[in-house]
Amino acid sequence: MTSVRTSAVALGRASTAGRVLLVEGVTKSFGHAPARRVFFDVSLELWPGEYIAIMGDSGTGKSTLLNLIAGLDLPDSGRILVDGEDVVAMDDAARTRLRRSRMGFVFQAFHLLPHLDVARNVGLPLALNGVRGPQAVERVRQMLEAVGLAARAHSFPRELSGGEMQRVAVARALVHRPKLVLADEPTGNLDADSAREVLQLLRAQLERDHAAGILVTHSLAAARTADRIYRLSREGLIPVTDGGAGGKP
Ligand SMILES: Nc1ncnc2c1ncn2[C@@H]1O[C@H](COP(=O)(O)OP(=O)(O)OP(=O)(O)O)[C@@H](O)[C@H]1O
Ligand SMILES: [Mg+2]
């Protein structure tokens, strides 16, 4: 996709239609006097159905980059467009709406609400987007079926294994059919078999919905489930072409 990226950047603002994500020349620092730069001139473009992995040493800013894309933090400079909308320029309320309606998230620590059962956890993004009633119930049922947890709809998170909790989190990330799914070390707490299963599910769901996805991981095996692998460093986000991204096998 490097050629597409090059040509799109060359075209400048001519065409943003259809693109799920455009990150262009983004730089991020933390603190003041002196500010500490995390990364510089990061660019990335994703189209519907594209699924990429981002690797890189601890502290290189992978989670920070996902936060910027989600509009949870702001870059020092550069452009970030999600589904054609400028995340940096919009106000907080618009950012929250964009995040809720068009993005889905899977985290290492699951972040399931302990007092809600599996079905209610999965249904949260629908509730936040005002989808209720039979339509919401049916959509939750479909998602639980898709991740193999239909029989656990009324279990609570504490009654599930780590792998099952993460399958619930995948269902929750996709229940509202987001255009972009951000997964930050989603298999970091899982054994190898559960990790493989969760990543296969994530990939299958992204494909079915033609959604774009970013998987942040330290595991090369996990990264290889994506279409392309990038490595984040101080110099920016570089495509990995030799199949080895310096992570754990
Ligand atoms: N809110 C913050 N305030 C100050 N510094 C921060 C903040 N968030 C992150 N950092 C710093 O920015 C750098 C990048 O952090 P980040 O969490 O993005 O790294 P990462 O690549 O996700 O690492 P890991 O692989 O360990 O998860 C780190 O040095 C971190 O200490
Ligand atoms: Mg991180």
Q: Which residue, judged by its Cα, is nearest atom 3 of ligand 1? A: 30
Q: Which domains does the chain have, with CATH numbers?
A: 2-240 (3.40.50.300)
- Whether the pTM exceeds 0.85: the reply is yes
Q: Which atom of ligand 1 is nearest to the CA of 185?
A: 27
| Higher pLDDT, residue 159 or 194 | 159
pLDDT of residue 12: 42
Tell me the mean pLDDT in the region 77-97: 96
Q: Is residue 28 predicted with pLDDT exceeding 50?
A: yes
DSSP 24-50: EEEEEEESSSS-EEEEEEEEEEE-TT-
Closest CA to 110 of 122, 92, 96: 122
Confidence band of 242 (pLDDT split at 50, 70, 90): low
Q: Which residues contact 202 (CB under 8 A, 6 or more apart)?
A: 106, 170, 173, 181, 183, 186, 213, 215
Is 108 within 8 Å of 168 (Cβ atoms)? Answer: no
Asked whether 64 lines ligand 1 (CB < 6 A), one says yes
Nearest 10 degrees: Cα torsion 216, 174, 91, 47: 60
Q: What's the 61 CA to ligand 2 centre distance in angstroms?
A: 7
- Ligand number with the minimum distance to the CA of 57: 1
Asked whether 63 lines ligand 1 (CB < 6 A), one says yes
Q: Is residue 186 predicted with pLDDT exceeding 70?
A: yes
Confidence band of 243 (pLDDT split at 50, 70, 90): low
In the chain, % of residues over pLDDT 70: 90
Tell me the mean pLDDT in the region 188-211: 90
Tell me the mean pLDDT in the region 183-198: 90
Is the bond leading into 125 cis (omega within 30 degrees of zero)?
no
Q: Is residue 90 predicted with pLDDT exceeding 80?
A: yes
Tell me the mean pLDDT in the region 126-151: 95
| Best of 26, 40, 62 for a ligand 1 pocket test (most atoms within 8 Å of beta carbon) | 62
Q: Which atom of ligand 1 is nearest to the CA of 232?
A: 21
Q: What's the 59 CA to ligand 1 centre distance in angstroms?
A: 5
| The pair of three-digit structure tokens given for residue 224, joined into one six-digit string | 């290889």
Q: What's the 49 CA to ligand 2 centre distance in angstroms?
A: 24
| Best of 64, 107, 185 for a ligand 1 pocket test (most atoms within 8 Å of beta carbon) | 64
